[in-house]
Amino acid sequence: MLEGVADLNLSDCYGKVGVPRQLVITKDPLSIPDAVTKAGLTLPLVAKPLVVDGSAKSHELSLAYDQFSLSKLNPPLVLQEFVNHGGVLFKVYIVGEMIKVMRRFSLPDVNKHEILNNAGVFRVPRVSCAAASADDVDLDPVIAELPPRPLLERLGRDLRRRLGLRLFNIDMIREHGMRDRYYVIDINYFPGYGKMPGYEHIFTDFLLSLVQSKYKRRLSNS
């Protein structure tokens, strides 16, 4: 699904959207350091389980700081370059044509000193739960500013068409120090909408619109 984002051309929509460089590892943890070197990925790397089945384990994240420790990871997994983003991510919920954006606290930025002085793989907490909301917190306006609405509308529309989905959400970050540079780090189909304020009315309106659309097609065909 992230490959679909990489293929989009959104340069004329108040910002640029990309995907952090990533690598899929399916087996043999001892081969990971060489695979990372050949792919040209830059440490630190976020390690995500390849299979997401709704369990707590499937949402576990790890941050790998050095090449040697990569062989301690447990495939299958996805390795993704970590992008500093001010410790805030944007949860973009898509329900049909509707778009709702919420701020969530995320992993803190990593500086050069930490990269040089940290070694190993560190388990990090799940960062996108409702308790981690950053919507009502006094943040740096540059970090807290939501992505431009036209950019989100274009991204949502193009992904709906490419993925064939009407119910999904996007985890999106803004590169720290780059006001118009965004990355999509995850896409979830049929996510837990209970975390989205007002989801009952939004979801009901979406279902009603589907029924009405189907009814109009029947009338036009009769």
Residue 202 contacts residue 100 (beta carbons within 8 Å): yes
Residue 60 domain flag: no
Residue 77 contacts residue 60 (beta carbons within 8 Å): no
Check residue 6 and give its pLDDT: 72
Query: Which CATH number fits the domain that encloses residue 189?
Result: 3.30.470.20
Residue 42 domain flag: no
Residue 2 confidence class, pLDDT cut points 50, 70, 90: confident
Check residue 119 and give its pLDDT: 83
Residue 146 CA, chain-centre distance (Å), reads 15
Looking at the predicted structure, is the pLDDT value of residue 220 above 90? Answer: no
Higher pLDDT: 129 or 83? It is 83
Tokens read off for 82: 């970590």
Long-range contacts of 129-137 (CB under 8 A, 24+ apart): 129/104, 129/195, 130/194, 130/195, 132/104, 132/105, 133/102, 133/103, 133/104, 133/105, 134/88, 134/103, 134/104, 134/105, 135/102, 135/103
Residue 4 confidence class, pLDDT cut points 50, 70, 90: confident
Our count of domains for the chain comes to: 1
Looking at the predicted structure, is the pLDDT value of residue 7 above 60? Answer: yes
Mean pLDDT is lowest, of 7-21, 72-86, 182-196, for: 7-21
State the average pLDDT over residues 197-204.
Answer: 89
Tokens read off for 118: 């940290």
Residue 37 domain flag: no
Looking at the predicted structure, is the pLDDT value of residue 12 above 70? Answer: no
Looking at the predicted structure, is the pLDDT value of residue 196 above 70? Answer: yes
CA gap 57, 171 in Å, rounded = 19
Burial (CB count within 10 angstroms: exposed 0-12, middle 13-18, buried 19+), residue 214: exposed
CA gap 71, 42 in Å, rounded = 16
Higher pLDDT: 101 or 54? It is 101
Residue 174 domain flag: yes
Strand bridging mode 16-18 / 181-189: parallel
Helix, strand, or coil (residue 96):
coil
Counts for the chain of helices (H) and strands (E), in that order: 6, 10
Check residue 95 and give its pLDDT: 94
Mean pLDDT is lowest, of 8-12, 77-81, 196-200, for: 8-12
Check residue 57 and give its pLDDT: 62
Check residue 51 and give its pLDDT: 74
Residue 39 domain flag: no
State the average pLDDT over residues 59-83.
Answer: 90
Looking at the predicted structure, is the pLDDT value of residue 54 above 70? Answer: no
Residue 109 domain flag: yes
Residue 193 confidence class, pLDDT cut points 50, 70, 90: confident
Residue 129 domain flag: yes
Q: Is the pTM of this model over 0.95?
A: no
Check residue 55 and give its pLDDT: 59
Nearest to 48 by CA among 81, 89, 78, 3: 78
**DSSP state letter for 12:** T
Residue 30 domain flag: no
Backbone angles phi, psi at 28, to 5 degrees: 55, 85
State the average pLDDT over residues 162-166.
Answer: 91
> Which helix (H) or strand (E) covers residue 133, if one does?
none
Containing domain of residue 207, as a range?
Answer: 2-20+83-220
Looking at the predicted structure, is the pLDDT value of residue 215 above 60? Answer: yes
The percentage of residues in the chain with a pLDDT greater than 90, rounded to a whole number, is 49
